[in-house]
Amino acid sequence: MHFKQAIAAVAIAASAAVCAGAAASEPSNLGERYASTCASCHGANGVPLGGAVPGLAGQSSEYIINAMAEFKTGKRQATIMHQIAKGYSDRQIELLAAYFAAQKQ
């Protein structure tokens, strides 16, 4: 009976280690990577060169997350953002929103 309990404990520990490793394997610069796709319109680090497109640097994460959700659902109108937003998962949007929130305007 002790042998079966030991095997079960090892299996549980291994499973927990795999789960912890999966969370820890997310690169720390993943938000920056996702945000880099926004640079052609919103500027490097979210600071646009012109005034035609809003800056994202320094915006709150909540604002960006809500705006992207509204673009995805069509609640917020845009020329192209409604299509772009559909290409991001909720987690990707959270990461890029955190990145832009940490940038200086």
Nearest Cα to Cα of residue 37 among 98, 90, 91, 88:
88
pLDDT at 11: 42
Distance CA 10, CA 47 (A): 51
pLDDT at 12: 53
pLDDT at 28: 87
Burial label for 73, CB within 10 Å (0-12, 13-18, 19+), is: exposed
pLDDT at 7: 52
Amino acid, res. 52: A
DSSP 93: H
pLDDT of the chain along its 105 residues, tens only? 554 554 544 445 444 444 444 445 778 899 999 999 999 999 989 999 888 899 999 999 999 999 999 999 999 999 999 999 999 999 999 999 999 999 998
The CATH superfamily assigned to 29-101 is Cytochrome c-like domain (1.10.760.10)
pLDDT at 51: 80
Domain coordinates of the chain in residue numbers? 29-101
At 86, phi and psi to the nearest 5? -65, -20
